[in-house]
Chain A
Amino acid sequence: MNNIYYFINENIFTFNSGTEFSAMNRQKIFKKLNLKSKIITRNYNQGLHQVIRNYNLSDDDVLNMYDYFQKVIDIPYHHEKLRYSKVIDKQHYKIVGIDNNKSVITRHGNTVAEVNIFPGTIGEIGSINYLDQFGNTSSRDIWDARGFKSKTQYLHPDGRIGHEVIFDYQGNPVIEITHMNKDNDFPTMFKLLNYKGHNFRFDNEDALFNFFLREISDENSTVLINDRPTLTAVVAQVPNVKARYQVLHNEHTVKPKLADKPNGKLYPNLIPLFNQFSDQFNGIIVSTSQQKQDLNKFFPELNVIAIADTAIMHKHAPATTNEKNRHEITYLGRVFHDKHIDHLIKITEDVKKVVPDVHMNVVGYFESPAYKQELDEQIKKAKLTNNVTLTDYRIGKDRDNILANTQVLLQTSFGEGLSMTLVQGLAYGIPAVAYDVNYGPNQIIDNGSNGYLIPAGDKKKAAKAVENLITNQDLHAKFSQAALKKAAQFSAERIGKQWQAFAKHC
């Protein structure tokens, strides 16, 4: 078994969704199992190596396409401090600090460049905008978190991105990207320069990504596990691999409740997988056996494998209850329209009638600043400013702290792949109240034991359930114990065994 497993993804962001969390979770499980694996990312990301550290991944766990062509997979971290950087010729240019995030470079009274400090660092170069005599940005140098100039963007005269040049560690151009459309900024060409002695021209990033996957794959050992439906076609067309799998992180139909019905419509981004490329995949991995059954109903010939897309990696101290937090409810996840955040607010409004100091904490990354504002207004209108808080994305200790003080996890989405937060909540012994939708909540919540399953959309019933749990301490303690017990089903050991069985067949 010398297989190497590549988990295909677009990016690992500062703010991630379930898809990335799941891939990172799987990477950690594979590592524990001594299975060789890496997360493969397609997108250019100057902060990738800083970000993955926040998720306790090492450089070895992730292989980015641009890193590969830049030959910077395994380079030392270096702190390029603006004030000591060779980039600035301080005998002829002045560095003027504006604040912690920004400095400007001046000469003879003209501002010739603006430096953005790398987020999360003290004084390290993030990017530099060079200004022309009219004050336009003419070009922009983008620095990698590991302290080297990674890319230069040259702007068109109208200020849009013109062409981009990506460098290796020594400063040699290795990739050129052009943007030649009149009315949009989509790239129109990717060109590899002097790669193994030749240039290679591609019409789009996915074509380059496909080339890259061919370069790193080997037909005797490479198993591609694709986490992104948008990359299905790219992965399907890598010929030199041992096996290909597609992971579905979400329900597969536009209306989740029609998942097993003939009139259930597939999500458009899944149509290529089922209608065109299914033969290219050795299997489809879903989180629940229910989803497996539903899929096999319509695609009986498909090899569908059910393995939960998240596992509990560490034992936690259970959440505690005290005077301050006993009415604390949390939603943790993407704060997007499809998660029905408006229901969360409505339910809180109802609970408040009985429990005036109920507090709902909505934590996650927001669809858009506009959406956050919309929610803010809804909260004000319902006079819930003291009862509902909108909190930006949290990870690590901050997130841990939030969960440790949560009495009830509330979830009102109409469709899920599994419900990662509910799984994580089990580890803290947090009872959950969630709409009983495809897929996941009913795998995690045993109704009336460690939480309540509510018919989708029944806000009144959900409010009642929450109310029950936060006003009845004995009930809460009982549910909490049950949740901790339930957590065993999602332990890293148990899910690791499923992956081990999977790996045996690869």
Chain B
Amino acid sequence: MNFFLNANFNEKNSGIEHAEIERALLFKNNNEPFKIVFQSWNPLLHHWLNLNDIKDNEILNLFDYYQHTQNIKPKKIQAKDIDFGMIKLEYKEQTDKNRYIVYQAEKIVGRINYFDDNISKDKLVSSVELFDGFEHLYRVDFYDIRGFKSMVQWYTPDNKIATEVWYSIDGKPVVEDYFRLNAQGKLTRSGYKTISDEGTVRSYLNYYELVEAFINDINDQYFSLENPNIFIMDRSENVEEFLPHLRKPSYNVLHLHNSHAGDPQNPDTSIMNNNYEYTLINANRYDGIIVPSKKQTRDVKRRFQPQCDMYTIPVSIVSNKTLNEKQVPMNKRKNKSVIATARIAPEKQLDQLVWAVYYARKKVPNITLDLYGFIDHSNNDIAQKRLKKAEKETGLEDVVKIHSYTSDVPSIQRNSQIYGVTSTSEGLSLAVMEAQSHGDVVLSYNINYGQDELVQDGKNGYLVKPNDAKSLGKKIAKLFANPKLLQKMSNQAYELSNRYSEKNVWSAWQNFLEHAQKSWPDKVKLYRPDITKGIQQMDQGV
């Protein structure tokens, strides 16, 4: 089985999740089995993944696994279905708060909260706060969107969480955690427990140990001497330490989604990207590293000289559907339009794109700039503040349009002409690849990694020196002044997208899967299964 290791999935996700979903769909189209593995509890996990065409049996969540709720028929649980064990109840709805308050003879019995109507219009129950006969809030039940009571928080008399319990689909406690005061007097999660169907109770000192047990359990379940279980660490938190030491052999791979170096422009010498520091230092304990671009593969090899297998596989794919789309000529698009579909985040440096447009407009008037992406509020909104500052200084307040995150990126890209990239660094940018597949001409800083691979300078776009907004502006002006050149480059963008066709990316994955399979006999050669005989009770005496 192929396991893609991740943490969580929500309405809005980052590039790692996008890449993972694309890969999942590619595997599915090629009949290669896979499970996307999530550690975090999330009552909407299946909802968001289903919307991305990931089916329930392709999702393997830690809590689902122990709750036996991986693949269940959804039910609609509404306020009327909640049984308080009381009669003569009165329900008062507060629509502004998405909830009902439930009373019996003026005393509060419970509060029923329901999912927002952007999730479901049916007022499906999301949580229920329960009060006892003396009006103490003693517990809160959380429901999964698929219609079952998933997790219960039990409260203390002074209104703090004491215990959290996850229930199986038939209502038995299966995972528990506890809150206790630590040595500093702070209430902290101090342990976990799982209880199996057979009644085996396992306890864990912390969440890490729970995740370790889970990964071991799924590795055991799918273990075979013939075919490897492959674990791909798309996110390595919690799993990176134990993965090389599972109970049974497995084929473990680190997947880089970003630059391995803190300063991607100095890949050989700069301090390591913190996200990959542990995994790269210990890279030889894994079986392989997957890198999105050839250039980064070369850099990783040169710097660390790892002895594990190295694979270059693009992190995203241009679908056959997109490749076969009718091409939109430049004169059918919004005239003189520049866009970026990226988070408003410091490393994206979108303020520099504003400057580039400012310089371009000096030569060619009426150029527009539209930005699509949700706003990263970290560091006191520094990204947004810089952007506002640039707009003010360039006087382009009315020209720069910031739109919130959009789920229909393709139609925006199909209606634009130039796509700008002014980031400090990129992986193999999914957004750029998408833009090109829709015929956008990409003008980008020549940053690591992938830009020089995606953008072939002078063919389907231009590369300029990093942080050189003026040069970027010149290129924008040049293209808008020369519609024929713009159209030619757009044609090339469409053409070169074939490099990332499903067929081409899949053959890179096939190469990887074949390697893993080839190395498997050596890995299992030394493996001996656990003792199973002679350990049960055999003397029947008292």
Instruction: Please list the residues of chain A having a beta carbon within 8 angstroms of any beta carbon in chain B.
Output: 79, 81, 83-84, 86-93, 107, 110, 112-113, 122, 128, 130-134, 136, 138-139, 141, 149, 152, 154-158, 162-163, 165, 171-173, 178, 180-182, 188-189, 191-194, 198-203
Contacts and interface: CB of A to CB of B under 8 A. Distances in A.
A106 to B, nearest CB: 11
Contacts of B183: 134
Contact of B190 (A113, A133, A156): A133
Which 5 residue pairs spanning A and B have beta carbons closest together? A199-B85, A132-B191, A201-B85, A132-B190, A203-B133
B133 A188 contact: yes
Nearest to A181: B157
Given A88-B200, A180-B132, A172 B181 contact: no
Contact of B138 (A79, A90, A189): A189
B82 to A, nearest CB: 10
B535 A90 contact: yes
B203 A198 contact: no
Contacts of A171: 172, 199
Contacts of A178: 132, 136, 138-139
B201 to A, nearest CB: 5
Contact of A93 (B84, B156, B173, B202): B202
Nearest to B104: A201
| Interface-centre pick from A107, A130, A156, A194 (highest chain B CB count, 10 A) | A156
Contact of B205 (A110, A191, A202): A110
A87 B173 contact: no
A199 B173 CA distance: 18
Given A141-B201, A156-B157, A163-B154, A201 B86 contact: yes
Nearest to A167: B172
A162 B154 contact: yes
21 contacts: A79-B542, A81-B537, A84-B536, A88-B200, A89-B200, A107-B203, A128-B201, A130-B203, A132-B190, A133-B191, A134-B183, A138-B178, A138-B190, A138-B191, A139-B178, A149-B199, A154-B165, A157-B179, A181-B157, A188-B132, A201-B133
B536 to A, nearest CB: 7
A163 B160 CA distance: 14
| Chief secondary structure at chain B's binding surface | loop
| Interface-centre pick from A86, A112, A128, A132 (highest chain B CB count, 10 A) | A132
Interface residues of B, number: 47
Contacts of A110: 205
Contacts of A162: 154, 156, 162-163
Interface in B144-190: 154-158, 160, 162-163, 165, 170-173, 176, 178-183, 187, 190
A219 B530 CA distance: 61
Contacts of B157: 156, 180-182
Contacts of A81: 537
| Interface-centre pick from B83, B201, B202 (highest chain A CB count, 10 A) | B201
A155 B193 CA distance: 14
B530 A91 contact: yes
A154 B158 contact: no
A157 B154 contact: no
A136 B542 CA distance: 33
A132 B158 CA distance: 21
B81 to A, nearest CB: 12
A83 B539 CA distance: 12
A483 to B, nearest CB: 41
Contact of A136 (B86, B139, B180): B180
Contacts of A138: 163, 176, 178, 180, 190-191, 193
Nearest to B155: A180
A263 B513 CA distance: 96
Given A139-B193, A154-B162, A157-B162, 10 more contacts: A79-B542, A83-B537, A87-B200, A130-B201, A134-B183, A136-B190, A155-B162, A163-B138, A171-B199, A188-B133
Nearest to A159: B180
A323 B329 CA distance: 123
Contacts of A132: 178, 180, 190-191, 205
B132 A87 contact: no
Interface in B96-138: 132-134, 136, 138
Nearest to A133: B205
Given A87-B200, A128-B201, A152-B173, A157 B84 contact: no
| Interface-centre pick from B160, B172, B178, B536 (highest chain A CB count, 10 A) | B178
Contact of A200 (B85, B162, B199): B85
B198 interface: yes
B206 interface: yes
Nearest to A201: B85
A122 B537 CA distance: 14
A87 B537 CA distance: 14
A162 B176 CA distance: 14
A200 B202 CA distance: 32
A10 B466 CA distance: 82
Contacts of A188: 132-134, 136, 138
A219 to B, nearest CB: 23
Contact of B156 (A107, A149, A157, A165): A157
A189 B178 contact: no
A180 B200 contact: no
Nearest to B170: A172
Contact of B202 (A92, A139, A193): A92
A193 B83 CA distance: 9
A199 B83 contact: yes
B241 to A, nearest CB: 14
A467 to B, nearest CB: 49
A436 B252 CA distance: 87
Nearest to B160: A157
Contacts of B530: 91
A89 B178 contact: no
A200 B133 CA distance: 12
B138 to A, nearest CB: 5
A133 B206 contact: yes
A117 to B, nearest CB: 13
Contact of B133 (A87, A128, A189, A193): A189
A159 B201 CA distance: 21
Contact of A157 (B83, B180, B205): B180
A304 to B, nearest CB: 37
Given A162-B154, A162-B162, A172-B171, A157 B138 contact: no
Contact of A87 (B83, B134, B158, B201): B201
A90 B200 CA distance: 10
